[in-house]
Every structure is written in structure tokens, then in C-alpha cells.
Amino acid sequence: MNPAFIRNAMTVDVEDYFQVSAFASHIPREAWMSISCRIESNMDRIMALLDEEGAKATFFTLGWIAERYPSMVKRIIANGHELASHGWAHHRVSDQQPSEFGEDITRSKALLEDISGQAVLGYRAPSFSIGRHNQWALDILEEAGYRYSSSIYPIQHDHYGIPDAPRFAYYPRSNGRLLELPITTMRLFRRNIPAGGGGYFRLWPYPVSRWFLKRLNQREQRSAIFYFHPWEIDHEQPRQKGISMKTRFRHYHNLHRMEARVKALTRDFTWDRMDRIFLE
């Protein structure tokens, strides 16, 4: 395949700044209703940005957000993007029992389908929280009618990841139908280097990220899977007090550069929805 025609998957985890896992011990879920959301304006900026280059994306959306902003969810569909599930209220799978997880993913899927009028095929676990010790979640996802997951990150990280998991699309169960689609990594120095977005995209200089993705397209002839969050283009968001230096750095580093970098990505590569690239 000519690398110029390789489509890469652009994905957005639709959650607001106060819902990130790193703030969970500082901002209780009971307080979410009293906090002013910034999600709609950020999402409108993202969809306008994608539209400039004709790029399509998959939006992994929290049920909590969709319930409060159904018109925003409908705009995702109207703009030709894919709607997928990010669970209900950003609970890590590793913090849930199987019954709780099943209820969470069923509830979010039903709401998203009710608002959009379309089948929801994909799921991404908050904080990539499906790991070695909760693989039962994959069976529950399949039973609930999901076709794919993007929840196992094949890197070494202090909060998540399975470093020796496959780097590209695979079926975790030999007789299963649920496809796992890992965030893109680059194999260097006998380890997997994060190359598919998130805080790492803000950490690396943009030419490094561009080189990673071009190498993936050209040498490995593979589609990249990239992700980011609406709050990452919002450098004016309220600053959270009382957090550690590490959390502060991870969350706020280079927010002011993020929107321009995503724009550059849409110019430098071809982007489409997860379902079109991996299910068709």
C-alpha cells in the first residue's frame, strides 16, 4: 500500500478537565454538577478544526457528558464522525466489579444510541484501565454488543499498560469477535515508545511525533491510532490547586501549543474514523 493513502484513526476522549483520573482524589464526582463545563465550546473548536481538512474522527464519549449535552452528541453525528463509548462517569475498569462494569457500559451504550439513532460499536476504558488482571472486561464488552475496544495500551506506565501486548489490532480471545485496537507505539531500543497522542504528544516536539507517525505509515505500512482530549486544547481552563508537581506537569504542560499541533497533524496525515479503518 502506498503510504500516502494510509488512513490513520483520529480519536477524541470526550470528557471535561475536572473528570480526569488524576484529579479524582481532589474533585469528587458529587461535585461535578456544581462545576461549569467547558466541553461544548472545546468540542465545537475540535470539529471545526477537523472540518478544515476534511478529517473524520471517533469520539469516545462519557455517558455523563452525553446526558447533559445531547445536542453536542448530535453534532458529532451530523458532522460525519463516529460516536463511541467512554463509559458513564469515568470510572476505571480496575476499580469496578464485573457487575458494575457491565451496568456501566450497557447504560452508556444505550444512551448514546438513543441520542444518535446509530449503533455504538466501540469502547475505550478510562485511563486505559483494562490490564492483565481484569481481562474479564473484554468478555463483558463482547456480550454487551461492542465490536471493538481501544483499552489496552502496550506501554510501561505507572498507572496502566501491558508492555508486551500486541502493538496492532488483534483479537484477545482466540474464539472471540471483539477486536482490540491499541494506541500507536513506536518500537525503539527494544521497548514500545508512546507515539499516539495524549500527554506524550504535548511532551515531544511536534517533529518527533510527525516522524513517529510517518515511520509507522511508511516502514510498517500500518494505520496509526491517535488520541487527545477536549481539555487539552483549552489552556484557559481553571487550574486545580493542591495537586502534585508530577500531576501538574502531566496535565498542563504545553496546553497552549496543543491546538496548533493537532491542526498540523490534520494537514500532514490522512485521518478517518475507527470503524471505517478497522471494521470495514
Mean pLDDT of 223-230: 98
Q: Tell me the per-residue pLDDT of 75-92, one tens digit each, with 9 for 90 and over.
A: 999 999 999 999 999 999
> Is a pLDDT exceeding 70 seen at residue 168?
yes
- For residue 225, give the C-alpha cell: 491510532
Share of the chain above pLDDT 70, in %: 98
Residue 178 belongs to domain with CATH number: 3.20.20.370
User: Phi-psi region for residue 221, left (φ > 0), alpha (ψ -120 to 50) or beta?
Assistant: left
Average pLDDT for 125-144: 96
- What is the identity of the amino acid at 252? Y
SS3 216: helix
pTM: 0.96
Crossing angle between the packed helical segments 255-268 and 206-219, to the nearest 10 degrees: 30
Confidence band, pLDDT 50/70/90 cuts, at residue 4: low
**Could you report the per-residue pLDDT of 170-212, keeping only the tens digit for each?**
999 988 999 999 999 999 888 999 999 999 999 999 999 999 9
Q: Are 87 and 104 in contact (CB under 8 A)?
A: yes
Judged on CB neighbours under 10 Å (0-12, 13-18, 19+), 177 is exposed
Domain that holds residue 127: 3-279
pLDDT over 70 at 1, yes or no: no
Q: How far is CA 268 from CA 47, 168, 256, in A?
A: 17, 22, 20
Percent of the chain with pLDDT over 90: 92
- Per-residue pLDDT of 239-279, as tens digits, reads 999 999 999 999 999 999 999 999 999 999 999 999 999 99
Instruction: Please give the tally of structural domains in the chain.
Output: 1
Strand partners, 59: 12, 83
Q: What 3 state SS string does 60-108 have? A: EECHHHHHHCHHHHHHHHHCCCEEEECCCCCCCHHHCCHHHHHHHHHHH
